[in-house]
Chains A and B, each alone.
Chain A
Amino acid sequence: MSETSASKGGFGAWALDPKRRGAMLVAPALIILFVMNIFPLLWSFGLSFFNYKASSPRVPSFRGLSNYERVLTDEKTWERFQTTAVIVGSSVLLQLIVGFLLALMFAKVFPMRRIVLMLVLTPMMLSFVSVGVFFKLFYEPTFGIVSYVMNIFMTDKFVMLGSPGGAIAGIVIADAWMWSPFVMLLVLAGLVSVPKYLYEAAEIDRASSWRIFWTITFPYIKSLLLLAILFRTIETFKLFDIVYIITEGGPGSSTETIAVFLYRNAFQFFQTSRSAALAYIVLFIVIVLTNLYLYAVNRREEEVT
């Protein structure tokens, strides 16, 4: 076939030449990656040094680091970081607890285990938007199921998202509901990797079940737990969809995470350059977290081998 196309000449033959066939095959992916990811990334990095507003036809002028300065000195930014930290902290903690308990449950063999396991894993496979919509409906004060159940026990009308604390709890619960199965999967992997003979040896050593857990089980799941914490921290730090759908950052700005704040600034107030600067600060934090994560992964690999 290559002969016939070579005799015909033309672009097809040129492109299918074995010398450049590989490059030609990856080219489309590379082009898309560049156009859709790398170029916007670099462009926005450039923008963060100008005073560009996407809503204004004015020609932007170079402002140096002033956008970074303004973002970092803005009290609002720090408030949003605090809100994010509260949501990340409580959500990851809740995910760890629930995920860990689920893993302990699924480490044992019981009837219908596979089916129950599959059901427990479903939240993780849903899209953020559908999870957000579900929970918005659950929390809905007039006909939501959560409000309905709470109203049975309470005299006042229960409005989950009415107070800052309630709204944060609502988001944390939705996020934890979605991602606890992920923590469970990681912990379960650790639990099943413990060789059975170690448990038997520990029993022979007359260790109590509590001690068996701390000296045998925990060392095996320790690094996986760390992975789960880091991975979930990175992901929750960027939490946007669920918050935007359930509370839109409200009431007030009490659930406005850094991602929602960024979105607002960029696409509602059109402070494009300032948002780009903030986005780069967030990116930096995520990169630091990611490197911690990779470090943990490598350590786990070393331990296991």
Chain B
Amino acid sequence: MSNLKVDNLRRNYGSVEALDGMSFDVAEGEFFCLLGPSSSGKTTTLRAIAGLEELAGGAVHFSGQDVTEAPVQGRGMSMIFQTFALYPHLSVEANLAHPLRRSGASSADVKKRVDEVSELLRVTHTLKRKPSTLSGGEQQRVAIGRAIVGRPKLLLLDEPLTNLDAKLRHEMRAEFKRLHRELGMTMLYATPDQLEALTMGERVGVIKDGKVVAIGAPRDLYQHPGDTYVAQMVGSPPINFLSATGSGDNQVELPFLGLPVAAPGVASGQSVTLGLRPHDISLAGGGSSRATRFPAKIHLTEPLGDVTVIDVTARETGMKMVLREEIAAKYNVGDDIEIAFDPEDLHVFDPSTGARLGNGATQKN
């Protein structure tokens, strides 16, 4: 059953279309991520769902009701802002209690709920302090606490990890998953970071220019991106795009390969864009097929600790590949290496529309 239904939202700032027919559904209890670059309309979408934006068109349905015109206060949703938006003049305790004050709850009840939430989020020791004296992670947890203390049916999260450092972000990702499991509330999470979307989202909606261009489980989006945009949004380091020409039915010719490789759905003479994940390129071993092994020169290395991202050039075509650190350590910039890939791992796209060709094309939503 669909809990939240966002239907064809439109919003423009002057001549800029911030939302251009934004539509998606979120099921009850689902962790749904909106993934898109900055200014693609993520924040505007969340604000529109919460009722903070005036819409030029479209509708928001929530729990079976049309809430498009409902006041912010009456929607039964809560939101975590990118800037946390804690009340700076109130103590953490008062911040957490704020959403409860209205319902006429007794002060004992309020205290009980605040205690529960602060324990859940491990901020009990900060209750008497002002938000400005808290660390970023603590402020973040207080903001989450304030959002969930009123037991909203839907939690909107607007890039909540953007203002945190890498280590905290890692911890908080796990925290959000834990909270989602423990509280069972529907979560709609907007982020520009594909890692956050892939690790947390049960489903991910990829946004481009104010509308959703693909929806799917993280694994599907990674393995079968529906177009070049989704392919480069999902996956890190980003996918390599290679231009190629069909040299016969279902096969293509690459400038740095001597022999054509299989590419289903490609017609002879058709120019295509091939997508190849850096993880799918490896050093050529004895077993690799002659057809897909080729020499390349190491251009740049970026050691990440456990793995190293290597930029290579093969006949003036640049691409990225990933090697395990102990293997990469044997090579230096300027070295010539033999590398290979499995033609099965190629993603074939139409260069003009960006749409996926051949097998494995995910249904566009």
Contact = CB atoms under 8 A, between A and B. Distances in A.
Contact of B83 (A197, A204, A216, A220): A197
Interface stretch (B16-24, B96-104, B232-240, B272-280): B96-104
Contacts, number: 59
Interface in A193-207: 195, 197-198, 200-207
Contact of B73 (A206, A219, A220, A303): A206
A206 B50 contact: no
Contact of B98 (A195, A197, A215, A220): A215
Contacts of A207: 73, 98-99, 101-102
What is the size category of the interface that chain B forms with chain A? 20 to 34
B73 A216 contact: no
Given A197-B81, A197-B83, A205 B99 contact: yes
B90 A215 contact: yes
A204 B86 CA distance: 12
B293 interface: no
B98 A205 contact: yes
Contacts of A206: 72-74, 99, 102-103, 150
Nearest to B143: A201
A203 to B, nearest CB: 4
Nearest to A206: B73
A76 interface: no
Which of B81, B85, B87 is the most central at the interface, judged by chain A CB atoms within 10 Å of its CB? B85
Interface in A255-291: none
Interface residues of A, number: 18
B186 interface: no
A214 to B, nearest CB: 10
A208 interface: yes
Given A204-B50, A206-B99, A215-B90, A197 B150 contact: no
B170 to A, nearest CB: 26
Contacts of A201: 79, 81, 85-87, 146
Nearest to B52: A200
A198 B73 contact: no
Given A204-B78, A211-B101, A215-B98, A198 B87 contact: yes
Interface string A174-216: 0000000000000000000001011011111111100100011
B157 to A, nearest CB: 12
B167 interface: no
Interface string B20-63: 00000000000000000000000000010011100000000000
Contacts of A197: 81, 83, 85
Contact of B146 (A200, A205, A211, A216): A205
A33 to B, nearest CB: 41
B83 A205 contact: no
B52 A203 contact: yes
Nearest to A216: B87
B97 to A, nearest CB: 10
Given A197-B83, A200-B85, A219-B89, A208 B102 contact: yes
B50 A303 contact: no
B101 A198 contact: no
B72 A203 contact: yes
Contacts of A211: 101-102
Which of A203, A204, A211, A220 is the most central at the interface, judged by chain B CB atoms within 10 Å of its CB? A204
Contacts of B86: 201
A14 to B, nearest CB: 56
Interface in A206-258: 206-208, 211, 215-216, 219-220
25 contacts: A198-B85, A198-B87, A201-B81, A201-B86, A202-B87, A203-B73, A204-B52, A204-B78, A204-B79, A204-B147, A205-B78, A205-B98, A205-B102, A205-B146, A206-B102, A206-B150, A207-B73, A207-B98, A207-B99, A208-B73, A208-B102, A215-B90, A216-B87, A219-B89, A220-B89
Interface of A: 195, 197-198, 200-208, 211, 215-216, 219-220, 303
Given A197-B81, A201-B81, A220-B89, 20 more contacts: A197-B83, A198-B85, A200-B72, A200-B85, A201-B79, A201-B146, A203-B52, A204-B50, A204-B77, A204-B147, A205-B98, A205-B102, A205-B146, A206-B102, A207-B98, A207-B102, A208-B73, A211-B101, A211-B102, A303-B89
